[in-house]
Amino acid sequence: MLGTSQSNIFVDYGPMQMTIQAVFAGNQSNKQVQDAGRYAKELLTEVARQKEIAKRAQQDLPSSVFGSEVLQRMINAVRQSTDKTLTPMAAVAGTIADMTADYLADLRAIKVIVNNGGDIAIRLQEGQTARVGIAVSRNETVMPTVLITKESGIEGIATSGLGGRSLTKGIASAAVVAAKSAALADACATSIGNAVFTEHPHIRLALAEDLDPNTDIRGHYVVKEVGLLPPEIIQKALNNGRTQMVRLLADQVIFRAAVFIEDWSTLIPDNWLMSDEQLLYK
């Protein structure tokens, strides 16, 4: 009976910091995972070649866009999110994670976890499970973890929020989404995170290009800094995020969602990130 082998690598390439883990039957996993790392770099290079299209809001894109597979997947993900203000770049990390995970699954890996800076693609064969930790707050000392099964249909988890590597229009410390792909989870987490907002003098905004000259959302105001907020303002922002969560869940675009503002939270289902023994699918 053949055993299994596992290989892990870390890919640090420009703005991409990616961890790739794969399990294969037998002992031939190292080369495949190294090849997957090179493939991820090629995908990011391809996105850079098409950045002028990738930085256009989906509402400004023509109905048919001719481009590479990675660009097409990015566009499809933001369109499924139904947020017309998002650019394809809102799904870039999740899309590259997906395509890297698919690359290894096509090589018959029995378990793959690709973590592209918090946007995570999971591919599982029958009988395999994956436990994923979720960073929900800078004050959190212990990450909640979730156990994913193949039967759940969940192949992507993404997190967006204030203090992350991308700009946000909301005040969520984390907007977490589980979906059928990392690309879709990425786009929807961005959309939900943007919705976690309400006006208050202690929430300071700035034009996106003033914080990042290379931003894909020039002309949009984003959250620069958040001071001490009264509970009613925090709750109002959470409720605005929950409204977006409910809509995406009702339309079956996503499977699970949660929003955190430090120690405050709203989750659907209510307990899916509260225990490391809680399954995403029952």
- Please, what sign has the CA dihedral across residues 275, 277, 279, 282? negative
Which comes out higher in pLDDT, residue 273 or 115?
115
Q: What is the CATH number of the domain that holds 216?
A: 3.10.520.10
Instruction: Kindly state whether residue 154 falls inside one of the protein's structural domains.
Output: yes
Residues 150 and 124 sit within 8 Å (Cβ to Cβ): yes
> Averaged over 9-18, what is the pLDDT?
95
> Averaged over 159-182, what is the pLDDT?
93
Instruction: Kindly state whether residue 34 falls inside one of the protein's structural domains.
Output: yes
Write out the residue range of the structural domain in which residue 254 sits.
Answer: 4-268
Instruction: Kindly state whether residue 280 falls inside one of the protein's structural domains.
Output: no
Instruction: Kindly state whether residue 217 falls inside one of the protein's structural domains.
Output: yes
Instruction: Kindly state whether residue 275 falls inside one of the protein's structural domains.
Output: no
pLDDT in tens, 183-233: 999 999 999 999 999 999 999 999 999 999 999 999 999 999 999 999 999
Instruction: Extract the tokens encoding 269.
Output: 């289902």
pLDDT in tens, 133-166: 887 766 665 678 888 999 999 999 999 999 877 8
pLDDT beyond 70 at 10:
yes
- Please, what sign has the CA dihedral across residues 23, 28, 30, 32? negative
Instruction: Extract the tokens encoding 117.
Output: 């800076």
Instruction: Kindly state whether residue 54 falls inside one of the protein's structural domains.
Output: yes
Instruction: Extract the tokens encoding 11.
Output: 């890919």
pLDDT in tens, 223-263: 999 999 999 999 999 999 999 999 999 999 999 999 999 88
Instruction: Kindly state whether residue 92 falls inside one of the protein's structural domains.
Output: yes
> Averaged over 38-60, what is the pLDDT?
94
The total number of structural domains that make up the chain: 1
pLDDT in tens, 53-67: 999 998 888 777 778
SS3 letters across 161-205? CCCCCCCCCCCCCEEEEEECCHHHHHHHHHHHHHHCCCCCCCEEE
How does the average pLDDT of the chain come out, rounded? Answer: 91
Instruction: Kindly state whether residue 116 falls inside one of the protein's structural domains.
Output: yes
Q: What is the pLDDT of residue 137?
A: 67
Residues 39 and 32 sit within 8 Å (Cβ to Cβ): no
80: left (phi over 0), alpha (psi -120 to 50) or beta: alpha
